Structure 1
Amino acid sequence: MCCTTALLDASLAAAADGKPSFSADPLATWQTDGIVWSLAAANGVVYVGGTFDNVRPPGAAPGQQQVKRRNFAAFDAVTGKLLPCAPSFTGHHHTVRAMKASADGRVLYVGGSFNRVGSTAVANAVAFDTSTCTLSKTFRPSVSATVRAVEPTDRAIYLGGDFSRIGGQPRNRVAAVTPQGALLPFRADVDLPVRALAAATSHGRLFVGGDFESVNGQGARSLVTLNPTSGKTVLTYPNWFPPLSSVKTIARDKTRFYVGAEGHGPGIFDGRIAGRLTNGTLVWKDTCRGATQAIVPYEGVLYSASHAHDCDETPGGFPERGDRQHLLAQSLDNRKILHWFPDTNDGLGEHVGPRALAVSRGTLWVGGEFTQVNGADQQGLTRFGARDTGAPDVPVLAVSGTGPGAVTLTWRASSDRDDASLTYRIYRDGKLVAQQTKTSTYWDMPKMSHTDTAPPGSHRYAIEVTDGTNTSPRSDAVTVTVPPKTDRTRAAGGPR
């Protein structure tokens, strides 16, 4: 077992290149007038669920150019175009909380707190034919309270949430139904809400996360693995989560499962964990604070939505600064935080920023309660592609000293959201005279300098910075008068 596990880990490490697939520059994206709780992708379409009444085009101000969409909308994954699939979800708390498509993309399963889809009476869980955007006539499980997680497999659709009954039968917060909606014998007793599910049926495991302390009558804080057929406990994870930390999101790839948590109070855990599918053992655990809401592994990188702060003990991380970083990329192999720092604000509701992630057709979609992305107005929804279009910040150039035949220039290193290594170009009177390359981050921008040997007279200096693809505008020019070298200076070998 040890050797097999080591080979799997080595294979994954070789496959993970540690480089994000996405730029940190957002693409033009439609917006919502409320909170996005869930995203799902199928066949080149991204489905958006949440608590909102309307969507509006990229760049439109709140209340302008609105198109009615009641808690559900669909978009082309690549172009971002709003699609006509627009069932309305109403009643109860009129919100969509969970969505996931079947493996073949033909069916979209939706859960939340609602009792009508269009004019059809339902009870918190439904399914759609994705080719026609029509409501399934058979998948109508009657769920007694909010559904917060949906996990479809070929034989069973797993539901998690706040409920205690399905179809009038007892099911405490987790249940399984057939693809036609009939209740299955699977049964587990969970004492508090379930918020995340991930199935690995080939390994005989269903991962369940949430607020709970007890499952099937034994202690199981926040995370448990169940038998996907019976619901019996397979594994618990003692010491993984302190009190008052809840699992909000679970994802998996071929060899590992990944967990994100949110905590409240001192000594809590807010970060991310990687474990092995084969035996449930811990691979790594980061220590960032800041309530992880969603994770998605993609091409060797784990993307997460949170409001991260104080990541100083995680490789590549940042210290506590009193601010928040809402999107992160980490190496799947070793948890290192990679240089990819698009950001949102905290936004509406509970002020945690992004809440949902999905990747489709090479585009990363992000939903949540934010109202800004990278400092620009953008509500509820954004997305990122592969093309890097953002230039680094423009440095401010200053003169720290002049002497006969020489000028010393200083500036603070810039930051760029998706490139750590930046090249700085110094111009004298419009002509390139020097360049330097330096690594920097938004929390560590070192002071830089250059001494230019210049002929006597008046000169104008400016600086620009490039990430290799995009170049900033040149800075405002500073004018310097360089005195000529004196006889004494020449004799001494120039300025010192």
Structure 2
Amino acid sequence: MCGTTALLDASLAAAADGKPAFSADPLATWQTDGIVWSLAAANGVVYVGGTFETVRPPGAALGQQQVKRQNFAAFDAVTGKLLPCAPAFTGHNHTVRAMKASPDGRVLYVGGSFSKVGSTRVANAVALDTSDCTLSKTFRPSVSATVRAIETTDKAIYLGGDFGRVGGQSRNRVAALTPKGSVLPFRADVDQPVRALAAALSHGRLFVGGDFEAVNGQGARSLVTLNPTTGKTVLRYPGWFPPLSSVKAIARDNTRFFVGAEGHGPGIFDGRIAGRLTNGTMVWKDTCRGATQALLPYKGLLYSASHAHDCHATPGGFPERGDRQHLLVQSLDTRKILHWFPDTNDGVGEHVGPRALALSKGVLWAGGEFTLVNDAPQQGLTRFGSRDTGAPKVPALSLADTDPGKATLAWRASWDRDDASLTYRIYRDGKLVAQRTKKSTYWDLPRMTHTDSAPAGRHRYEIEVTDGTNTSPKSAALYVTVPAQAAQAAQEPQAAQEPQAAEKRAEGDPR
């Protein structure tokens, strides 16, 4: 880490942070009655896997308008429409934990803990033809325990999980198969469950993450790079993860890989790390607490699912407040957290919140344990498009002070989930008299004031807030009596006498 400090400082100074590609306002989305563990996208379809028995339309309460879907469902990525592809994944401890489409999108590989798909006997891993949602007749490896991660390439399908045997052969927690389901010679010995996989074949690397302490007889805590053909260790990452910190997510772009961790215990590393594909050196490390579960790099930014609650040491981050932020985006170059704060709650199960992310047709999907999205009921699934539809909340005006000819108004800044700079418009008696622009976040709402020069008398003040696209309703009216200025008050008696004096002069009165 020390060797990368100068490079990081340089990138912080030079790199321009991008703008999030998505609004923080959720699109109408179907819901599940349980937990979504995995999402996958292919050909404009988003596949949803997890532990659930039914799905229901947007806005429907739990138990209402339910449609049977056993641990698996498919949706149109753009419209959100529920599709008829609905094989039932059942059997002992039935759950879908991992999914990944083939590079050409023709096949969807599915893993988890299940013994039947429909009426067909299987063992924890299968493949579906995405054109007609039928079960592959060839890719049906017998996997001895839960599959928790899948990576696909043109030549190999990699599985990771809890298992010790695949296709009748010894394979300790990671295995490689042909797209037709034959076990490949690839072999690695991992001592604890594998939870994340990512291949970078042009660099000769298969990234493997999980709960482990040793791989191929050598110490390798939570992350290792293997040769994708043989399974031999290529790189280990000493010092990257403390004890009890597990890798839950791995993603990559063309030059870097990104790792998300979950710490098991107070203060154990929960954040994200970026490294170089070429040599495995660390680019940056953020120390946000809150169990990172999923990562998705897109257009120069890294989207993540977690329940972050202390990011004070990360640029753009927030302090510990006793609450949690479940979705984040940060710069790939600077690690700076950007102003994009859609949120969920912790939800059911292990109370982690979101667990999976997927992108299809410009729509970001998130799945997990949550039952609320942006404080509104929404279970298991949500998604975000590019259109900003949410207006900031309007603040309450109060009177800070009055002086002759002046009224000082005060309010606490509002905030918006996807716009940091907000403009406040102040109206007196229905007329716009001032506007102020200020940055704010949900953890930093500055006090704002405006002193209005107004004629003496009683006035009605209102305020509205705009993010440049959406504008809040006007606030409740604040009535203020502005006192007259001293000079004006002193001149009023003389001014009252002037018409009488003019009248007498017109009549020839010398006075």
> Is the structural similarity TM-score above 0.5?
yes
**1:486 CA displacement:** 2.1
Q: How has the CA–CA distance of structure 1 residues 484 and 11 changed in structure 2, closer, same or farther, with 3 Å as cutoff?
A: closer
Partner of 1:275: 275
The correspondence of residues 52-201 of structure 1 with structure 2, limited to 5 A, is 52-201=52-201
Partner Cα separation in structure 2 for residue 442 and residue 155 of structure 1: 47
- Checking the alignment, whether the CA contact within 8 Å between 1:13 and 1:333 is kept in structure 2 is no
The share of aligned pairs that are identical, in percent, is: 83
Instruction: Give the SS at the match of 1:79.
Output: coil
The correspondence of residues 299-318 of structure 1 with structure 2, limited to 5 A, is 299-318=299-318
Instruction: Give the SS at the match of 1:313.
Output: coil
> What's the CA shift string for 1:443-465, capped at 9, x where partnerless?
00100000001111111000001
Partner Cα separation in structure 2 for residue 79 and residue 408 of structure 1: 49
Q: How has the CA–CA distance of structure 1 residues 97 and 26 changed in structure 2, closer, same or farther, with 3 Å as cutoff?
A: same
What is the RMSD computed on CA atoms of the aligned residues?
Answer: 1.8
The correspondence of residues 316-331 of structure 1 with structure 2, limited to 5 A, is 316-331=316-331
For 1:116, the aligned partner's letter is K
Partner of 1:395: 395
- Checking the alignment, whether the CA contact within 8 Å between 1:16 and 1:299 is kept in structure 2 is no
Partner of 1:407: 407
Q: How has the CA–CA distance of structure 1 residues 62 and 214 changed in structure 2, closer, same or farther, with 3 Å as cutoff?
A: same
The TM-score, its normalising length taken from structure 2, stands at 0.93
For 2:117, the aligned partner's letter is V
Q: How has the CA–CA distance of structure 1 residues 12 and 76 changed in structure 2, closer, same or farther, with 3 Å as cutoff?
A: farther
- Checking the alignment, whether the CA contact within 8 Å between 1:249 and 1:260 is kept in structure 2 is yes
> What's the CA shift string for 1:34-67, capped at 9, x where partnerless?
0000000000000000000000000000000000
**1:10 CA displacement:** 10
Moved more, 123-132 or 13-22: 13-22
The TM-score, its normalising length taken from structure 1, stands at 0.96
Partner of 1:262: 262
Partner Cα separation in structure 2 for residue 489 and residue 350 of structure 1: 70
Partner Cα separation in structure 2 for residue 312 and residue 278 of structure 1: 30
Unmatched runs of 5 consecutive residues or more in structure 2: 1-5, 492-511
- Checking the alignment, whether the CA contact within 8 Å between 1:404 and 1:489 is kept in structure 2 is no
Partner Cα separation in structure 2 for residue 451 and residue 29 of structure 1: 45
Instruction: Give the SS at the match of 1:202.
Output: helix
Partner Cα separation in structure 1 for residue 140 and residue 16 of structure 2: 41
- Checking the alignment, whether the CA contact within 8 Å between 1:222 and 1:246 is kept in structure 2 is yes
> What's the CA shift string for 1:433-452, capped at 9, x where partnerless?
00000011000010000000
For 1:339, the aligned partner's letter is H
- Checking the alignment, whether the CA contact within 8 Å between 1:306 and 1:327 is kept in structure 2 is yes
Partner Cα separation in structure 2 for residue 17 and residue 268 of structure 1: 28
Question: Is 1:46–2:20 an aligned residue pair?
Answer: no
> What's the CA shift string for 1:65-111, capped at 9, x where partnerless?
00000000000000000000000000121100000001110000000
> What's the CA shift string for 1:233-253, capped at 9, x where partnerless?
000000000000000000011
- Checking the alignment, whether the CA contact within 8 Å between 1:307 and 1:327 is kept in structure 2 is yes
Q: How has the CA–CA distance of structure 1 residues 14 and 32 changed in structure 2, closer, same or farther, with 3 Å as cutoff?
A: farther
Partner Cα separation in structure 1 for residue 476 and residue 259 of structure 2: 47
- Checking the alignment, whether the CA contact within 8 Å between 2:108 and 2:129 is kept in structure 1 is yes
Structure 1 or 2, whichever has the larger Rg, is 2
Partner Cα separation in structure 2 for residue 87 and residue 15 of structure 1: 47
Partner Cα separation in structure 2 for residue 60 and residue 486 of structure 1: 63
Partner Cα separation in structure 2 for residue 214 and residue 248 of structure 1: 17
- Checking the alignment, whether the CA contact within 8 Å between 1:295 and 1:305 is kept in structure 2 is yes
Partner of 1:421: 421
Q: How has the CA–CA distance of structure 1 residues 143 and 485 changed in structure 2, closer, same or farther, with 3 Å as cutoff?
A: same
Question: Is 1:23–2:23 an aligned residue pair?
Answer: yes
Give the 4+ runs in structure 1 shifted more than 6 A: 9-16, 488-491
For 2:247, the aligned partner's letter is V
> What's the CA shift string for 1:176-219, capped at 9, x where partnerless?
01000000000000000000000001110000000000000000
